[in-house]
Structure formats: C-alpha cells, structure tokens
C-alpha cells in the first residue's frame, strides 16, 4: 500500500524550559514499506517546504543497532513492536487512517513540560 493517510499527534517543545504541547499533522501518501523515521523524514520535508520548523528527533545508524532513535510511539518506547527500534518499525504495522501519538523519551535534558514554562534555576 502506498497511499496511507495518517494523523500524527506530535509533542512539540521549543527547549528545556519552554512550554510544550501536542501538534497534529495530517500526512498523506505514506508507503507501508517506509520505516517510522522515513515517514517522519517525509513529514519534515513537507514542513521545511512550508517554511515551518521540522520535528527534531534523534537518529544515527538506522539499522537497528545503535538505539538512538528514542521516540515514544503510541505510549511505547520505540513503538509497539517487541525487540524493534523505531528505525526498524515499518509503517505496514499501522492502519490507514490511524492516529499515531509521538513523544520524546522523558529525560532530564528535555523534561516534558505541560505547565507554563519556567525560568532556569541557577545550578
């Protein structure tokens, strides 16, 4: 299948101290052979062409070895497939028309901030 339509709910946050929120994107023309990261590449290319800020996400080997692609997909680290990194998760495991929630991993470097932003504390 090469024309899946997806609704992507993506957590966007400008930085460690900024307030974040979910932003929803509609993406058409997704091929079910794409990996999850390639699907995000396609969305980013679209956003860049619209002069909007692309979604920043970590990735390196894209071969399932390094584990850098740290996304929480539909509530699961690296997505719903067992023993599979996000780069090896292919879109054939999602349904046409599905809404997919994408968030970063919780970490000290980028804490998930749903309340109002606050000033950095002096360390």
Partner 1 sequence: MANPCFTQIHPTCIPVSGEYQSKLTLMSESLRNDGRVWVPKKQDDAAAIREGKKTGLEIPEADRDYYLERRYPAFGNLVPRDVASRAAKTACDEGLGVSPTGLAVYLDFDAAIERYGKSRAHSLNEYNADDMRIRELGVGVIEEKYGNLFEMYEKITGEDPYVMPMKIYPAVHYTMGGLWVDYNLQTNIPGLFAIGEANFSDHGANRLGASALMQGLADGYFVLPYTIGTFLSQEIRNPKVDPEGPAFKEQEARSQARIDKIMGINGTKSAETFHRELGKIMWEYCGMARNAEGLQKGRRMIRELREEFWSNVYVPGRIKEYNPELEKALRVADFLELGELMMLDALDRNESCGGHFREEYQSEEGEALRRDDEYAYVSAWEWDDKDPILHKEELIFENVELKTRSYK
Q: CB of 23: closest distance to partner 1 in angstroms?
A: 15
Any residues with CB less than 8 A from the CB of 118 and at least 6 apart, and which?
17
Residue keyed to tokens 């679209």: 46
Q: CB of 33: closest distance to partner 1 in angstroms?
A: 5
Closer CB to partner 1, 9 or 81, in the complex: 81
Closer CB to partner 1, 42 or 101, in the complex: 42
CA 55 and chain centroid, separation:
7
Report how far apart, in Å, the C-alpha atoms of 64 and of each of 12, 22, 41 are.
25, 27, 17
Q: DSSP class of residue 86?
A: G
Q: Which two tokens stand for residue 75?
A: 């509530």
Q: Which two tokens stand for residue 28?
A: 């058409």
Binding mask 16-55 for partner 1 (x = CB under 8 A): ---------------xxxxx-xx--xx-xx-xxx-xxxx-
Identify the residue among 5, 15, 80, 96 touching partner 1 (CB under 8 A).
15
The contact set with partner 1 (CB under 8 A) reads: 14-15, 31-35, 37-38, 41-42, 44-45, 47-49, 51-54, 56-57, 62-64, 84, 88, 90, 92
């Amino acid at each position: 299948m090469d024309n899946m339509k997806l609704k992507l709910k993506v957590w966007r946050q400008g930085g460690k101290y900024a307030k974040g929120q979910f932003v929803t994107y509609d993406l058409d023309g997704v091929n079910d052979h794409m990996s999850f990261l390639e699907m995000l590449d396609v969305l980013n290319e679209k956003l860049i062409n619209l002069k909007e800020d692309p979604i920043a996400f970590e990735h390196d080997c894209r071969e399932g070895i390094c584990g850098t692609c740290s996304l929480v997909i539909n509530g699961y680290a690296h997505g719903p497939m067992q023993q599979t990194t996000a780069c090896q998760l292919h879109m054939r495991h999602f349904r046409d028309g599905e809404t997919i929630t994408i968030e970063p991993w919780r970490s000290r470097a980028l804490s998930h901030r749903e309340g109002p932003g606050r000033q950095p504390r002096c360390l």
